[in-house]
Amino acid sequence: MVSLKTSLCGIELDNPLIPASGTFGFGYEFAEIYDINMLGSFSFKGTTKDARFGNPTPRIAECKNGLINSVGLQNPGVHKVIENELPKLKSCFHKPVMANVSGFSVDDYVYTVKMLDSEPQIGWFEVNVSCPNVHGGGMSFGTSPEAAAQVTRAVKAVTSKPVIVKLSPNVTDIVAIAKACEDAGADGISLINTLLGMRIDLKSKKPVIANKMGGFSGPAIKPVAVRMVYQVYDAVKIPIVGGGGVESAEDVIEMMLAGASAVQVGAANLVDPMACPKIIEALPGVMEKYGIKDLKDIIGGAH
């Protein structure tokens, strides 16, 4: 019998699968299709202090082996999330959930985390300093070690729950930023958010996306994600949540061998809503194929 269990910042997971923020809403939509309690956890829709309508449309551009999105953190704001979304989630998901939080200033991050901190179902905060689709916030905090550390330090001061910082791949030195977050008190690192991409329509000769550029995700980015997880694992002592182009049980094992303790699935959920259950179902067979008895044993095994 193989073991799919893993642990993330001291919280036990039945398996390493975590649908990524922005691809799974607040969970209850997917709960109509399957029992989402089979997941390790999931990261809910990126939440900000105030409600956001998001970016103008069109927001999505398909491309070979991936897609570009520029949703722009559309969400009802933290007060409505607490009032409306979390009670609905509680009715269908009975495990700790990951709260993805974003902001446009350090104070924004602090306010949102403070508001959500008393919610018992939240197990971890995934602090997004890496969204490429908003101006004046998001990724601007994640491209500088100092700025990422500043957000980490401020958020850690207002919660006792584990803080996992989600980093941008759109940088030259991912290791320096990950180490800065660890030094500032981060309990984990989430890698990677989307790459910055663009499509141009040949007929109109204009960018496909209204915001011109957006976050490129999907299987094409997996080698970049694996590389960054591998590099950061060598540099920090805190756990890593790996993600980027994951769409199969083999991808999960590859990400864990690189150094991930848990694995996020993003774009695959948009292509196939049953992507995560299929991966979980396939994992035992793939583990047996490669002689793996316990997933915990392979974390960082490629080093």
Active site members: 131
Contacts of 201 (CB under 8 A, 6+ apart): 207, 208
Contacts of 5 (CB under 8 A, 6+ apart): 12, 13, 14, 15, 294, 295, 296
Q: Are 197 and 68 in contact (CB under 8 A)?
A: yes
Cβ neighbours around 290 below 10 Å, total: 10
In sequence order, the β-bridge partners of residue 125 are 99, 163
